[in-house]
Structure 1
Amino acid sequence: MIKKMNQKELAKKHIDELAENLEEFGCFVDNFSEKQYNFEYDIHFADNKFKLLVYFGKKGIKTVLQGKTSTPEFQTLYELVQEQPALFKDKILDHEPEEYIGSDETGKGDLFGPLVIAAVYVNGETKPKLLDLGVRDSKDLTDEIIWDIAIKISQIHGIEFEVMSVEPVEYNRVYTEEKNINKMLDKYHSAVVEKLIEKTNCKLVITDKFNKKEKELDASGRNKDVEFISMPKAEKFLGVAAASILARAKMIQWFKKNKLGTKPLPLGSSTDTEEFIKNNKELLGKIDLNNYAKLHFKTWKKLNVNTKS
């Protein structure tokens, strides 16, 4: 007989699942605690701090997001945490399709470096080869393994893929116009996916879902006969996992080439990154940050760093 979970257990399961989704999105989650009537933790996203609370009681489970509501980051997180898992069911696949394009991105939560988007076409011929290489979600792999697998993916006979690196100077220009990272992700995912559709005539695209709104991947309107599926934890599909590896490898390459003098630039936007900035203000003042960093992050203003060249 299956034991039915009580409200407190359901709330704990729910807040843990949300933490996984938030971390996949690029947030940093910490300070988890259990109160008398709720579970809660802090969310660090694009140098903003928010608090997520999941209450349990006789009336059921209630999810509350606290923080500066006027910020676009709050709206993005609100859409993410308010969506119940059941709403995904109509778009969840429980099997690996025979043929499809998988896309993924990296860098949206990093203060330094580019935004990188990749897409990979997989079919019956390339799938076994990707499996033999040990392809899986890049978050489960070290940088050395990612680099090695990425090279081997590019050498597979008949493999089709696209990688786009949006350099900081271009990222900053577009963000100044759009003021919305989700619109930018739609735009760049569309660009790499459409190139692969033209090459392969593939009719199915799978990409990771990061907010309540579906990615608008058919920007040109030319692919009305293509099915676009956006779903959580899409890295379980081989094509999306391969795309995550190619994107991450491109990011690793950028950080190897771009340093602050001899000092490696930090990944992420956590307190470690803030410490790096505090300790290197003089050096940072001698370079054009527009070429190295995403300037809309409030960290720069918070730490009183001049981002004007």
Structure 2
Amino acid sequence: MNTVVMSSDLALQKQVMKRLKAYQVPNKNPHLAFFAKMDGCSVSLYHSGKLVFQGKNASSLAQTFGYAKETTTNAALNQQTQALIGSDEVGNGSYFGGLAVVASFVTPDDFSFLRELGVADSKTLTDDKICQIAPLLKEKIPHKSLLLSPRKYNEVVRSGKPYNAISVKVALHNQAIFLLLQEGVQPDGIVIDAFTSQKNYLNYLKQEKNHFDEAFSLVEKAESQFLAVAVSSVIARQLFLENLQQLSQKVGMLLPSGAGAKSDKIASQLLKTQGMSALEETAKLHFANTQKAIKLLHS
């Protein structure tokens, strides 16, 4: 889903409400002054003046209200003007290790500190760099970290279990953000690195006990656009690596990240020497790697 965020003055706000009046849709969000849907695009005008366009035609519709389309780099830099909660996860694509989700609250006062540290999407940083700066981030930046261990993951995710691979991430992101908001932080917005559609996210959210009233956006590649999400990606990566190391020590074997052929071979060795209980403790069993490891064991 494409997302465009703009700031608006009183004149632009009146223009938006006048031009889109015929497309206005009722909305119970107390933070919204106006909400409309037009040509596959939703338009949210907040009392704070923030104007958000979401949908396949977000950019083109925003341009009719004065949005100047920029290069990715400039657009990302120019969006660093608000206090945001950003949420990201690490471990979703790795067979071994848990699933780490972190929500962080970053204000403009933090930007200089974060840029000096070299904060960026954790996928662009070395593990050494991650381990170097993550402790500094955890000390300085308000955040909430959640780690779903492989054993717990296997208890709740799979056919017949209460969650699937998507809905469990919805639960973790929602809970991390909820807990951070409970501490009294007041963000101008909330951004979640998109891993599913807004429709799916809201549908899965219905089964969660804890909810918050603040509006949020799911943004693709948000970790490269918003410092709050980048901070969360770094802290989550460090948490995932720490868990992977602990699990490796527990089974006496170096467990790799990812889900490639190397993971198949290690899993097969674990099955041979320690049995299925070792995989239940260290890996996400619904991955195809489990069946591949079993085949290797009997080949």
Q: Distance in 2 between matches of 1:286 and 1:234?
A: 37
Q: Distance in 1 between matches of 2:182 and 2:196?
A: 27
Give the structure 1 partner of residue 154 of structure 2.
172
Give the structure 1 partner of residue 196 of structure 2.
211
1:88 touches 1:231 (CA, 8 Å); kept in 2?
Answer: no
Q: Which amino acid in 2 is paired with 1:161?
A: H
Confirm whether residue 234 of structure 1 aligns to residue 222 of structure 2.
yes
Q: Distance in 2 between matches of 1:183 and 1:154?
A: 27
Higher normalized strand content (fraction of residues): 1
1:268 shift after superposition: 1.0
Give the structure 1 partner of residue 294 of structure 2.
304
Q: Distance in 2 between matches of 1:100 and 1:252?
A: 26
1:104 touches 1:117 (CA, 8 Å); kept in 2?
Answer: yes
1:254 shift after superposition: 1.1
1:299 shift after superposition: 2.3
Give the 3-state SS of the residue equivalent to 2:89 in structure 1. strand
1:175 touches 1:184 (CA, 8 Å); kept in 2?
Answer: yes
1:241 shift after superposition: 0.5
Confirm whether residue 253 of structure 1 aligns to residue 223 of structure 2.
no
1:143-177 deviation digits (Å, cap 9, x = unpaired): 11001110111222xx2101100011111111142
Cα distance change of structure 1 residues 204 and 194 upon mapping to structure 2, 3 Å threshold: same
**Aligned length in residues:** 219
Q: Distance in 2 between matches of 1:201 and 1:88?
A: 26
1:220 shift after superposition: 5.0
Residues 251-290 of structure 1: matches in 2 within 5 Å?
Answer: 251-259=240-248, 261-285=251-275, 287-290=277-280
1:68-105 deviation digits (Å, cap 9, x = unpaired): xxxxxxxxxxxxxxxxx836658998612411100000
2:88 touches 2:192 (CA, 8 Å); kept in 1?
Answer: yes
Higher normalized helix content (fraction of residues): 2
Give the structure 2 partner of residue 56 of structure 1.
none
Normalising by structure 1, what TM-score?
0.64
Q: Distance in 2 between matches of 1:297 and 1:221?
A: 29
Name the larger-Rg structure.
Answer: 2
1:287 shift after superposition: 4.5
Query: Which blocks of at least 5 consecutive residues in structure 2 are unaligned?
Result: 1-54, 63-71
1:195-222 deviation digits (Å, cap 9, x = unpaired): 1112213241101112334533695575
Q: Distance in 2 between matches of 1:179 and 1:286?
A: 22
1:243-300 deviation digits (Å, cap 9, x = unpaired): 0000000011112222164421011111221132344542242753222111112322
Cα distance change of structure 1 residues 221 and 151 upon mapping to structure 2, 3 Å threshold: closer
1:101 touches 1:120 (CA, 8 Å); kept in 2?
Answer: yes
Cα distance change of structure 1 residues 300 and 197 upon mapping to structure 2, 3 Å threshold: same
Q: Distance in 1 between matches of 2:215 and 2:81?
A: 12
Q: Distance in 1 between matches of 2:209 and 2:57?
A: 27
Q: Percent identity?
A: 27
